[in-house]
Chain A
């Protein structure tokens, strides 16, 4: 038991180490001016994707359910926090304090949504859950696109029609402008903040997985009925996992929203495509493998930028990666083949035991 624990710790330390070293290397390169501005601009989105990949891996890898609505949670986090930051732009001038409050708001609201959407989770699993989360993501995107909010001396005005329907005083300004989204929210996110958030996310996830709760969640994944029969409260743990995951996606959204001067909701950033993107990170990195998620998020974000010529084929390659990885890792025939021809893996496993 003691030996196993220390092995776990070493593995965790390696994960933290990779993130830390990667950050320091990037920071040195940026300071030395070795990095193009395009690449530098990718750093905050990269942190966003890492957090999203970790958060989805919690649902897919640890709980064993598929969520296709993570972009929806991200959207909730991004819009509520950007809304706050834009309103408070002149009141709170310290960008760090403003960002921290915005982060808190984004996380809490996303967690509430996670809890709300978690209630149907209690009754569903597998394909139904996937489709419900997908539906949820689309609803969020849809609502954000018809929402108009303005602010004037009398307070806030809401509408779902257009700017004119807000009936504002002449001094009023539009904050959320329907399909145009939120324009001109302060860009408070920096690479350093992103890095800290990644570390915090990692800390929470790794501790959760190794805790009693984490083992209970994995027991549900491995056999729901057996887990229930030994007294694990399935409802509680499923809700808990979902809410934590949603909160993390919300944090990623806050980071994402505060890196853009023009925040809009479309299919590519807060819709189905984004959810699939994150899923590709998780699947390529290895379902349930947190370190793998981080590495694959980094590689898949930076690689297309390095290979610009392939940008037309990027999504095609993602699709093929999804199919091939799943077939290779899960098909009973492929597993048999691997055990036969790549037997060194098996020997290694036995040696560990």
Chain B
């Protein structure tokens, strides 16, 4: 029984990783950059939701909505101010270091505004969850809601990318930016849209993450952010189903590692997975190999 409950917890954690990884993978696929600040957008989203619930006394849904809007605006702002000027820079290192700077900036702004002390995040899920097999197996409401939300987001995103005009534009830009520009696609607008979607998803991920693990500090987002990137690489960067599979697998690996190997070594195990994946199959499970041209 404990095996099944670990598996379900892993699915819950993995779903959060998957939602974060979607943001990474879309941005990487389209803007060809690693948005290091993505994890910290999650943290900001959680703080916004927390403040609107505790200080403004808002009900759950409007609070989450405000958090999504705030993160979307933040994502657009970051993209416009910090990343867009460097899009055609001669070295790809430039935008990577800038992204690290943005990540650090967000952490330290949060540190100055909210302090370093952990704040308790009230769960947004009021549902008690399920009790199966005569009470031997309980699944918390948070886990179930996380998994369901993740699946809904996945399906919605795939439909968006495959069936709509902006989604088509995204695929075109990710395939060949220059050619997309020649076809009359607004490349800058498409990249901004990608950042907006990714950051909005980050807010949802932040709320779900903090509902399941209710302690919020300015550093809450950093680790899940990096792990979600691992998940995105694991599944094959640039691929939406890949991010989903990678996230779920990583969540399960982490929970099993904690349960069966060593709770302190769980992070090391997750990172070891990354190194092994990159050594064995650098393109990830579902990634495509891109031939480099001179």
Contacts and interface: CB of A to CB of B under 8 A. Distances in A.
Interface residues of chain A: helix, strand, loop or mixed (majority): helix
B271 A135 contact: yes
Interface in B256-294: 262, 264-265, 267-268, 271-272, 274-275, 278-279, 282, 292, 294
B268 A127 contact: no
B92 interface: yes
Contacts of B226: 131, 134-135, 138
Interface residues of B, number: 46
B100 interface: yes
Given A120-B275, A136-B275, A160-B262, A331 B89 contact: yes
A123 B98 contact: no
B159 interface: no
B112 interface: yes
A123 B104 contact: no
Contact of A319 (B94, B104, B262, B271): B104
Given A120-B278, A136-B275, A332-B88, A126 B96 contact: yes
B117 interface: no
A330 B268 contact: no
B86 A330 contact: yes
A66 B98 CA distance: 12
A330 B96 CA distance: 12
Contacts of A131: 34, 226, 229-230, 233, 274
A142 B264 contact: yes
Contact of B85 (A272, A313, A327): A327
Given A66-B93, A135-B275, A319 B101 contact: yes
A158 interface: no
B284 to A, nearest CB: 11
A160 to B, nearest CB: 7
Tell which of B98, B100, B265, B275 has the most Cβ of chain A within 10 Å: B100
Contact of B279 (A123, A143, A146): A123
A329 B90 CA distance: 11
Contact of A283 (B89, B97, B102, B275): B97
A134 B91 CA distance: 20
Interface in B95-138: 95-98, 100-102, 104-105, 107-109, 111-112
Contacts of B104: 276, 315, 318-319, 322
A320 B222 CA distance: 18
A5 to B, nearest CB: 27
Interface string A298-322: 0000000000000011011011111
A318 B109 CA distance: 12
Interface in B177-230: 222, 226, 229-230
A66 B96 contact: yes
Nearest to A332: B88
27 contacts: A120-B278, A126-B96, A127-B92, A128-B233, A128-B278, A128-B282, A132-B275, A132-B278, A135-B271, A135-B275, A136-B275, A138-B226, A138-B268, A142-B267, A160-B262, A225-B292, A319-B102, A319-B105, A320-B105, A323-B101, A323-B102, A326-B97, A327-B85, A327-B86, A329-B94, A330-B86, A332-B85
Given A131-B274, A326-B95, A332-B89, 4 more contacts: A127-B33, A287-B93, A320-B101, A323-B98
